[in-house]
């Protein structure tokens, strides 16, 4: 079967406060088609810095420097902890959405609170807010390579730029669903403070020793929107479409967009949350930067489409509905509630988005991840 014709959509009109409604509506039509056929697509804009070759080089360079640290330095980076607030280093084997070991390492960070704000808010932070967990100051100084503040600065600028792109996409998604342009924005007033960026370094595997390992297990994303920069030319991301796996190649000056389970369920299955995975060619490393963009922690978004539930929503083919705890956690009843219980309470308005997503992150945490 031929590879799917995954579209590339210029979203400039959604980022321009002076754009006409007609221009924004044209983008919305393209988004509707992409979400309903594939659930994954590329976006670009010649007017936004996140799509520039120079900015891509900056974030890739910073990411490569981070993962090139030796094991001693990495051992001193705070590791992610169970509980859903994911900041810090993700060691190899530190997370998995299945029983397969995922041969990757990662680093999670998000909104950079000032020391003053972090101190003032430390008792009022919700379960997805808090300070970032950076490498030790002397390590950061080496990562700066003689330009103080450049390492953290590159990561922070990239994160805020991607959140800005996501906020623009909300307008197009609202229009695509025949809703007022500002409809979804109402539920995302503080999204940048709870969303986060995950830098990934995928290791090659190609021998019998790694037969039970993968870059990232086949899964759907639980949340709202995932925005991915894939600067590595090495093919790795794959989409499951029409019962076959297809490569999603890296395209210069674009971001890959995945719809999430929550967004799909809110549309009654009209929008697809695509099943995807990351594999290795067995020879080359691969890097990617994934922003998990969330609505507000206390958001309880009503159904966005008043139509018959169909397709994916009817079949329940979502990672959101799966119990992704390890066998050990299932036996000990730790690692949070099972997926179906959490999702049911979410859609019934019995719990908010933040409590739901914290529960899901708790499910995939794996003890004993190795450096």
pLDDT in tens, 143-154: 999 999 999 999
Give the pLDDT mean for 351-364: 82
Contact 38, 272 (CB under 8 A): yes
Higher pLDDT among residues 310 and 15, named by residue = 15
pLDDT over threshold 50, residue 97: no
Q: What is the pLDDT at residue 233?
A: 78
pLDDT digits 0-9 by tens, 300-345: 999 898 777 767 766 777 877 776 555 555 555 554 566 667 677 8
Distance (Å, rounded) from C-alpha 204 to C-alpha 283? 6
Q: Are 299 and 265 in contact (CB under 8 A)?
A: no
At residue 171, the pLDDT reads: 98
pLDDT digits over 127-145, tens only? 999 999 999 999 999 999 9
Neighbours of 233 (CB within 10 A): 10
Collapsed DSSP state (helix, strand, coil) of residue 42: strand
Tell me: the pLDDT tens digits for 42-61?
Answer: 999 999 999 999 999 999 99
pLDDT at 371: 29
Q: Specify the pLDDT at position 355.
A: 87
Residue 181, pLDDT score:
97
Expressed in angstroms, the distance from the first to the final Cα of the chain is: 40
Measured distance CA(85)–CA(78) in Å, rounded:
13
**Domains with residue ranges and CATH for the chain:** 8-364 (2.60.120.330)
Written as six digits, the tokens of 6 are 């995954």
């Amino acid at each position: 079967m031929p590879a799917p014709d995954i579209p590339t959509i210029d979203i400039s009109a959604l980022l321009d406060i002076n754009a006409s409604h007609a221009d924004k509506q044209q983008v919305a039509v393209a988004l509707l088609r992409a979400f309903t056929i594939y659930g994954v697509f590329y976006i670009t804009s010649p007017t936004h810095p996140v799509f520039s070759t120079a900015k891509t080089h900056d974030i890739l360079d910073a990411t490569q420097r981070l993962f090139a640290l030796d094991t001693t330095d990495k051992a001193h980076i705070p590791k992610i902890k169970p509980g859903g607030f994911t900041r810090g280093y993700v060691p190899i084997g530190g997370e998995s959405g299945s029983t397969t070991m995922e041969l990757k390492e990662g680093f999670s960070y998000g909104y950079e609170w000032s020391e003053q704000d972090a101190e003032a808010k430390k008792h009022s932070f919700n379960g997805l807010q808090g300070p970032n967990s950076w490498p030790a100051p002397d390590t950061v100084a080496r990562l700066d390579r003689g330009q103080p503040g450049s390492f953290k600065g590159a990561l922070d600028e990239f994160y805020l730029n991607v959140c800005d792109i996501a906020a623009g996409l909300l307008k197009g998604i609202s229009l695509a669903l025949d809703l007022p342009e500002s409809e979804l924005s109402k539920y995302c007033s503080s999204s940048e403070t709870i969303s986060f960026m995950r830098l990934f370094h995928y290791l090659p595997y190609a021998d019998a020793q790694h037969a039970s390992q993968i870059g990232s297990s086949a899964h759907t994303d639980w949340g709202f929107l995932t925005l991915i920069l894939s600067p590595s030319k090495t093919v790795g991301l794959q989409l499951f479409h029409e019962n076959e796996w297809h490569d999603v190649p890296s395209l210069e000056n674009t971001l890959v967009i995945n719809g999430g389970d929550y967004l799909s369920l809110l549309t009654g299955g009209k929008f697809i949350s695509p099943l995807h995975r990351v594999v290795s060619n067995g020879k080359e490393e691969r890097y990617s930067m994934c922003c998990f963009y969330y609505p507000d922690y206390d958001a309880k978004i009503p159904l966005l489409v008043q139509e018959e539930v169909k397709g994916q929503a009817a079949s329940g083919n979502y990672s959101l509905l799966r119990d992704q705890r390890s066998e050990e956690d299932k036996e000990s009843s730790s690692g949070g509630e099972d997926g179906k219980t959490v999702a049911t309470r979410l859609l019934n308005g019995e719990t908010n988005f933040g409590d739901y997503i914290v529960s899901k992150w708790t499910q995939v945490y794996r003890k004993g991840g190795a450096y």
